[in-house]
Structure 1
Amino acid sequence: MNALIEKDIRTIQSIEAVPFIMKMLADATGLRFICIARVTHDNWTTCAVLDRVNFNLQPGDELEIQTTFCNQVRQSSTPIIIEHAQNDEYYNSSTIPSMYGFESYFSFPIFSKNGHFFGTLCGLDPLPAKLKTTEIKQQIKSFAELISRQIEADEKLSTVESDLFNEKTAAKLREQYIAILGHDLRTPLSALTMGVNFLMEQVKDDTSQKILARMDNSANRMKRLISDVMDLTHGKMGNGIELQVKPVNNLQNILSHTVAELAALHPQQTIQTSINVEGLLNCDPERIAQLLSNLLINAIVHGDPAQIIEVTSTIIEGVFSLSVSNGGSPISPETVDKLFQPFWRNESNKKTGGLGLGLFIASQITLSHNGSLTVSSNESRTVFTFQASL
């Protein structure tokens, strides 16, 4: 038996309604043998059986396809009903009823996805039975159609599961590729940065210094982009970012330094700070600084440059809080739902030069610290707030 037939048998066996359908048909028709068969050009294979006459067929058993009426049903997709084989004007000359010892018989087609022929719902009995009534024929037809729909649903589910598996595999390969690429890019980039720094010390003319400064800025931007993509990979799209948690007693200085660096890079923007974080905290200070940097860059890029950006950080009742507030147009509710998605950028800010990972990475740092990252926005201010018990 080939693997596809085995799969089809498992499909029929997995349909919970099948035993009830066969029992109801046996009770309604009086036939003591009911089965569902997988029928191909070459094979007739039992998938499910109700046997009250010891016909001795089990799921997986096969019959010669040419010795069955089901082969005719496969070719024509038309049901066959026999009430009394010996007296039937069409089938009384057939050897099939006497070969299997039945007088009454029915076989209705079952279809799979896209109307492809699957097999038959059939029944038989050594004794004659009244089967050609409208009620009996409609009942058999309805059950055959029900089984067809169940098979189609199972095939669609299998396709979805297969597509999902393939997508997960592809996603894993992409993550591995990004990780390898990021690692391999850092080595030549470090060499480039070292070379630029060396030349900046050796070459003193203004033109060369300006060119080297632009090269240094570009190299630093490349570093940030590589770090962002690596963080995306390590974050595994929602599982958080790996931390190096340790006791920290200088987080206030680290946060102030982070703000000062960005203020120097954006002298046109006024940034006010109120950072009051004293005492010992357990966290990853570099990641907290990265979170602040990402929130602050978001405020600089998307806020109103004429309005002050406010950075506030406190510890109240053991809860560390860090917020970045900017003025400007409010964020719409539908946009708020997308802010923390990777690679998402507002259509009005496509030329920011980033990958759209800043807020996503901030959310992953938050997740890894078991904290919360919320946003509130109105006509007055937009505020991002990170909170965690550190």
Structure 2
Amino acid sequence: MSEPSDFSRDISVIANIDAVPLILTMVKHVTGMRFAAVARVTETKWVACAVDDSIDFGLVPGGELVLETTICHEIRQHRQPVIFTHASQHPVYSTHHTPHTYHLESYVSIPITRTNGDFFGTLCAIDQSPAQFDEDAVCKTLTLFAQLIALQLDVQEELLNKDNALLDAAEAGGLREQFIAVLGHDLRSPLSAIRMSADLLEAKLTGVRERGLTSAIRQSSQRMGALIEDVLDFSRGKLGGGIPIKLALHDDLDAVFAAVISEVIAGNPGVRIRHTISISPGIFCDAGRMGQLLSNLLGNAVTHGSALHPIEVTATMQENFIVLSVANQGTCIPETLLPRLFEPFTRSADGGRGEGLGLGLYIASQIVKGHKGTLTVSSTPEAGTCFVATFPGALEWRPDDSQALDD
């Protein structure tokens, strides 16, 4: 495999992984060392992609070390972690050239290996003072972090490859659907492992700040899980005949909506939501999908709404119809975007990183369509943005409706 002429793409990809700064902070915390980095390591180069430096080691993203002076050069060959806490007393590394060259006493380096087996580089930590930690526990924790980085590298590459491929309109549809199907199914298992590991790590930490950091990892994994569910819904809709809608009689749609609002507030402490909910019992719907509908609309409002104004949620009965509205002040949707707002992969012109894949509103529209309703939007600088979903509260059920809902 040929080697890249520069590393700007690798540095940019690592910079776009939101979890990397948090991971480097956690690496320093669990090891007690004062320098942590993500390094790209090839046959001839050692290049820093991300750095958290409290010892003025002198490296910044894009900075290089002579490959042969590093232990990462050896790790690239044997693909095994290297850990020592006191180099001058170590039977092997007391005479190794790397600790002598850089005056190191403590060192951890974990290989970052892509799912296709390609070696990317290392997650490492160093210090000029001896460290005290459980080497086995640190190895397991940092290996988890390295796997998370590798997973994100795969996602970033898939997204970049997809975007490049979509420049060719003739291939856009097929490539997009293939990517979605692979993304949704292949990421579930490692993401579950990340969530469980974050829970275990949080249970072992006692400091408020440290527990908050692990909580942030868990929340990020939950957000990734929500994105995966979105792409799975999309792949079902496009590849499997429609987003599944399972209609049943429900008497507690009020409680479903209230629970969603509570979850959004808990996940976004600075957000204010004012709500009026009054739904009659005996509603024929898919309650889970109704909750997902409100969650997607609220997620859009949280992303684009102004923190100075509360989000307004109203869910009421108008004759035999349920009317659900979500309104927020903030970024106005351009008129040119309104006609295609409910199309998949449509996002606002500013392309904010917090927006996700652009599937939330599409899935919301498909849920409303599955309930034989309508979803509309209005957006002006004066009145703000308001989404209104209207659907019958008591659909007439027929045996062949299950097929119709998937069309």
What does the per-residue CA deviation read over 1:100-136, in whole Å, with 9 as the maximum and x for residues that have no partner?
A: xxxxxxxxxxxxxxxxxxxxxxxxxxxxxxxxxxxxx
Corresponding position of 2:387: 384
| Partner Cα distance (1:303, 1:177) in 2 | 30
Q: CA deviation at 1:180?
A: 4.3
CA contact (8 A) 2:333 2:348 kept: no
Out of 290, 296, 307, the position equivalent to 1:305 is: 307
What amino acid does structure 2 have at the position aligned with 1:381?
G
Corresponding position of 2:249: 247
| Partner Cα distance (2:347, 2:248) in 1 | 34
Q: CA deviation at 1:298?
A: 1.2
| Partner Cα distance (1:170, 1:305) in 2 | 37
Question: Is the alpha carbon distance of 1:207 and 1:192 closer, same or farther for their aligned partners in structure 2, counting shifts above 3 Å?
Answer: same
Question: Is the alpha carbon distance of 1:177 and 1:238 closer, same or farther for their aligned partners in structure 2, counting shifts above 3 Å?
Answer: closer
Q: CA deviation at 1:335?
A: 1.8
| Partner Cα distance (1:326, 1:213) in 2 | 28
Corresponding position of 1:373: 375
Q: CA deviation at 1:171?
A: 4.1
Matches within 5 A, 1:352-367: 352-367=354-369
What does the per-residue CA deviation read over 1:1-24, in whole Å, with 9 as the maximum and x for residues that have no partner?
A: xxxxxxxxxxxxxxxxxxxxxxxx
- Higher-Rg structure is 1
Corresponding position of 1:200: 202
What amino acid does structure 2 have at the position aligned with 1:183?
H
CA contact (8 A) 2:342 2:362 kept: yes
SS in structure 1 opposite 2:302?
A: helix
| Partner Cα distance (2:240, 2:305) in 1 | 27
Question: Is the alpha carbon distance of 1:311 and 1:276 closer, same or farther for their aligned partners in structure 2, counting shifts above 3 Å?
Answer: same
Structure 1, unpaired ranges of 5+: 1-166
CA contact (8 A) 1:321 1:385 kept: yes
What does the per-residue CA deviation read over 1:202-257, in whole Å, with 9 as the maximum and x for residues that have no partner?
A: 33233431231121012111101111111111121896411222222111111011
SS in structure 2 opposite 1:310?
A: strand
SS in structure 2 opposite 1:333?
A: coil
Corresponding position of 1:209: 211
| Partner Cα distance (2:309, 2:326) in 1 | 13
Question: Is the alpha carbon distance of 1:238 and 1:332 closer, same or farther for their aligned partners in structure 2, counting shifts above 3 Å?
Answer: farther
CA contact (8 A) 1:238 1:364 kept: no
Corresponding position of 2:275: 273
SS in structure 1 opposite 2:337?
A: helix
SS in structure 1 opposite 2:327?
A: strand
SS in structure 2 opposite 1:273?
A: strand
Q: CA deviation at 1:385?
A: 0.5
What amino acid does structure 1 have at the position aligned with 2:259?
H
What amino acid does structure 2 have at the position aligned with 1:360?
Y
Cα RMSD, aligned residues only: 2.6
| Partner Cα distance (1:307, 1:357) in 2 | 25
What does the per-residue CA deviation read over 1:81-100, in whole Å, with 9 as the maximum and x for residues that have no partner?
A: xxxxxxxxxxxxxxxxxxxx
Matches within 5 A, 1:160-179: 171=173, 175=177, 178-179=180-181
| Partner Cα distance (1:278, 1:201) in 2 | 42
Is residue 2:237 matched to residue 1:235?
yes
Q: TM-score, normalised to structure 2's length?
A: 0.51
Is residue 2:266 matched to residue 1:264?
yes
Corresponding position of 2:347: 345
What does the per-residue CA deviation read over 1:28-85, in whole Å, with 9 as the maximum and x for residues that have no partner?
A: xxxxxxxxxxxxxxxxxxxxxxxxxxxxxxxxxxxxxxxxxxxxxxxxxxxxxxxxxx
What does the per-residue CA deviation read over 1:290-348, in whole Å, with 9 as the maximum and x for residues that have no partner?
A: 11111112112222221221100012222111100112354333221121121121122
| Partner Cα distance (1:237, 1:375) in 2 | 27
Corresponding position of 2:190: 188
What does the per-residue CA deviation read over 1:365-387, in whole Å, with 9 as the maximum and x for residues that have no partner?
A: 11211110001223223210011
Corresponding position of 1:132: none
| Partner Cα distance (2:280, 2:310) in 1 | 25
Corresponding position of 1:113: none
CA contact (8 A) 2:177 2:239 kept: no
| Partner Cα distance (1:389, 1:317) in 2 | 9
Q: CA deviation at 1:289?
A: 1.0
CA contact (8 A) 1:241 1:365 kept: yes
SS in structure 1 opposite 2:312?
A: strand
Matches within 5 A, 1:1-390: 171=173, 175=177, 178-236=180-238, 240-378=242-380, 379-390=382-393
SS in structure 1 opposite 2:366?
A: helix
Q: CA deviation at 1:261?
A: 1.3
Q: CA deviation at 1:259?
A: 0.8
SS in structure 2 opposite 1:355?
A: coil
| Partner Cα distance (2:315, 2:241) in 1 | 26
What does the per-residue CA deviation read over 1:161-191, in whole Å, with 9 as the maximum and x for residues that have no partner?
A: xxxxxx9998457535533442232122112
